[in-house]
Structure 1
Amino acid sequence: MADTQTKGFPTITPHLVVKGGAEAIEFYKKAFGARERFRMPWPSPDGVERVGHAELMIGDAVVMLADEFPEHGSVAPSGQGASVVIHLQSPDVDATMAQAAEAGATITMPAENAFWGDRYGKLIDPFGHHWSVATKVEDVSPEELKKRMDAMFAASPDPCAG
């Protein structure tokens, strides 16, 4: 049986659609230390070159990226929330979030120690994509996790509000 896995790609790979592909690539380099593996320019009807396809490495993960092509139904986030959050495991969540903010990201939840054992925060990149960033700070057993979660909900019926 032939190998159906494309070499160099995991089973699932995020493929981001953005307005301003070249600028997005530079942002991800500055914010997350991305390395560009490949970029395919694509002409558009108005003569402005777009990124038809790009591949970035962030840590050991591949992230694909393309400019939006509304004429083909491929559009960037509108800024009205997110249906997907990209999770980035980082050796230093505070440094990563500071670097991303310096590059132009908006911090929506500053990093804090979370009940599940991560130091965890959230941000939105300048292209409308939502990210969570975490650093493991402790291993938490399932029993301890349940106790901490129950305590959090006892203190506030909606801990995510406000």
Structure 2
Amino acid sequence: MTQVQEKASGIRGDDLQAITPHLVCAGAANAIEFYKRAFGAVEKMRLTGADGKLLHGAIKIGNASVMLVDECPDWRSFGPTSLKGTPVTIHLYVADVDAFVERAVKEGAILHMPVSDMFWGDRYGIIEDPFGHRWSIATHQRDMSAEEIEQAMKSMMPARGDGGC
């Protein structure tokens, strides 16, 4: 990435060494405001077109970079609300999953899975933001070996009785 591209994206090149979600939203400017209130996001950049739609936005949630754009049917770019859902869940580790999820729900997120302790060592819950993006939120509680996680999973699965899905 060139220096010009780095400045144009609102995110430095070294911030993009991990997978960076680029969220398509119906109302991306409103999504940025939601993420600021509910997720504590910091806005890095916003480029608005003549029609008022967001052409490019960039935020940071903790150490995670996220880019946003408004839907654009001409580019075959649609968000989850237009598509009637999403097959993607964005995973985010935070310092206090309970407080994070509570704040997000107060700001309009839908709670899909209440926060609870999980067999793999995380405290974990799932929410959907008002723009249709699904987020799994976790706080790591304890390190476990692969064998310990497998044994914990096996002891949990019979209790559910549904094969795991």
TM (norm. structure 2) is 0.87
SS at match of 1:43: coil
Counterpart for residue 111 of structure 1: 115
Q: Work out whether residues 157 and 164 of structure 2, in 8 Å CA contact, stay in contact via their aligned partners in 1.
A: no
Counterpart for residue 121 of structure 1: 125
- Bigger Cα displacement from structure 2, 145-154 vs 33-42: 145-154
Q: How does 1:3-152 map to 2 (within 5 A)?
A: 7-11=13-17, 12-44=19-51, 49-78=52-81, 80-152=84-156
Distance 1:120 1:91 in 2: 12
Distance 1:91 1:159 in 2: 31
Deviation at 1:104, TM superposition (A): 0.7
Deviation sequence 1:31-61 (CA, Å, 0-9, x none): 11100010000123xxxx1110000011111
Deviation sequence 1:111-150 (CA, Å, 0-9, x none): 0000000000000000000000000111112121111111
Q: Aligned-residue CA RMSD in angstroms?
A: 2.1
Q: Work out whether residues 23 and 67 of structure 2, in 8 Å CA contact, stay in contact via their aligned partners in 1.
A: yes
- Bigger Cα displacement from structure 2, 117-126 vs 78-87: 78-87
Query: Structure 1 residues 159, 136: CA separation in 2 closer, same or farther (over 3 Å shift)?
Result: farther
SS at match of 2:91: strand
Deviation at 1:157, TM superposition (A): 3.3
- Bigger Cα displacement from structure 2, 121-130 vs 137-146: 137-146
Structure 1: where are the runs of 5+ without partners?
none
Distance 1:138 1:52 in 2: 41
- In the alignment of these two chains, the number of paired residues is 156
Q: Work out whether residues 40 and 53 of structure 1, in 8 Å CA contact, stay in contact via their aligned partners in 2.
A: yes
Distance 1:150 1:88 in 2: 25
